[in-house]
Amino acid sequence: MPPQPIRKRTRGKLSHLDARGRARMVDVGEKPITDRVAVARGVIKMKPATLRLITGGEIAKGEVLGVARIAGIQAAKRTSEWIPLCHPLALSAVHVDFTPTGRDRIAIEAEVRVSGKTGVEMEALTAVSAAALTIYDMCKAVDRGMVISELCLLEKRGGRSGVYRHARVAKKAALRR
């Protein structure tokens, strides 16, 4: 069967499917290069004692949040190897931050930047995921019941679709006004 022509994306259609519903990588060749930013967030819930061990530097495998930060950065850089239809990108910056919230949670936030033809939402989400999984790996000897949750895209800027803000971010921005 001859290859089907790649069709332009139309609003409301899935861009990673061709006319026959087969997966394909989106052609970004005609898109302009723009500055793009994505911010993602997730949470890992654990026993309060586990959080105390992490913040006190008492986990036997080492400095948990430092290693998790490196894992998140590394994962963002290699997202196209994890997610089959992602384009490989030369990222400009990746920041991964951790905030203990309450007595039993760590919020993980990643911001990824690029000047390119496609966005970095998947890179930000992958960075948060890898950081959370690294925390789990390093702490599982003391707490196998940790739960990774609330993974979401908080914000994206740049490209043809412009700005997106998750309801959580939009609500905080409205409260600051």
Which residues are known to be catalytic?
Answer: 137
Integer Cα distance of 60 and 114 in angstroms: 36
Buried b (16+ CB within 10 A) or exposed e, 37-76: bbbbbbbbbbeeebbebbeeeebeeeebbebbbebbbebb
C-alpha torsion sign, points 51, 144, 110, 149: negative
Q: What is the distance between the alpha carbons of residues 39 and 166, in angstroms, rounded to a whole number?
A: 10
Mark residue 42 as left, alpha or beta (left: phi above 0; alpha: psi -120 to 50; beta: remaining).
beta
As given in the structure block, the two tokens for residue 71 are 């894992």
Do residues 38 and 156 touch, judged by C-beta distance below 8 A? yes
Retrieve residue 144's tokens: 């196998």
